[in-house]
Amino acid sequence: MAARLAKEPNPDARAAPRGDQAAAFEAAVLLHLNAAYTLARYLTGRGDAAEDIVQDALLRAYRGFDSEHVGNVRAWLLAIVRNCFLTWKARDRRGAEDRNFDGDPKPFGEDHEEKEQETPESILIQHEQNSAIRAAIEGLPHLFREVLVLRDIEDMSYREIAAITGVPIGTVMSRLARARKMFAAAWREPETNNSKETQR
How would you write the pLDDT of the chain (200 residues) with one tens digit per residue? 444 444 444 444 444 445 677 788 888 888 899 999 999 999 988 888 999 999 999 999 988 887 666 678 899 999 999 999 998 988 866 444 444 444 444 444 444 444 445 666 666 666 677 778 888 888 899 899 999 999 998 999 999 999 999 999 999 999 999 999 999 998 887 555 555 544 55
Residues 127 and 89 in one domain: no
Together in a domain, 123 and 87: no
Shared-domain flag, residues 128 and 185: yes
**Residues 132 and 188 both lie in one domain:** yes
Does 147 share its domain with 87? Answer: no
Q: Give the CA diameter of the chain.
A: 70
Same domain for 88 and 2: yes
11 and 79 in a single domain? The answer is yes
Which residues share a beta bridge with 1? Answer: none
The CATH number of whichever domain residue 187 belongs to comes to 1.10.10.10
- Whether residue 59 lies inside any domain: the answer is yes
Let me know if residue 169 belongs to a domain: yes
Give the DSSP H or E segment for 175.
Answer: helix 169-199
In a domain, 98, yes or no: no
Cβ atoms of 164 and 79 within 8 Å: the answer is: yes
**Residues 82 and 43: beta-carbon distance below 8 Å:** yes
Residue 184 lies in a domain: yes
| Whether residues 188 and 132 fall in one domain | yes
The last residue of a domain, from among 75, 93, 111: 93
Q: Do residues 51 and 1 lie in contact, with contact meaning Cβ atoms separated by under 8 Å?
A: yes
- The answer to whether position 24 is within a domain reads yes
**Quick one: pLDDT at residue 19?**
61
Which amino acid, residue 5?
A: L
- Cβ(136)–Cβ(187) below 8 Å: yes
Of 117, 129, 122, nearest to 187 (Cα)?
Answer: 129
DSSP string, 41-100: HHHHSBHHHHHHHHHHHHHHHHHH--TTT--SHHHHHHHHHHHHHHHHHHH----GGG-B
Give the domain extent around 137.
Answer: 119-194
- Measured in degrees and rounded to the nearest 5, phi and psi for residue 145 equal -60, -45
How far is it, in rounded angstroms, from Cα 12 to Cα 4? 18
139 neighbors 189 (Cβ within 8 angstroms): no
Residues 126 and 69 in one domain: no
**Does residue 105 sit within a domain?**
no
Q: What CATH code is carried by the domain that includes residue 81?
A: 1.10.1740
Same domain, 60 and 131: no
What is the Cα–Cα distance from 183 to 132, expressed in whole angstroms?
Answer: 11
| Contact by Cβ (8 Å): 57, 82 | no
Q: What domain count does the chain have?
A: 2
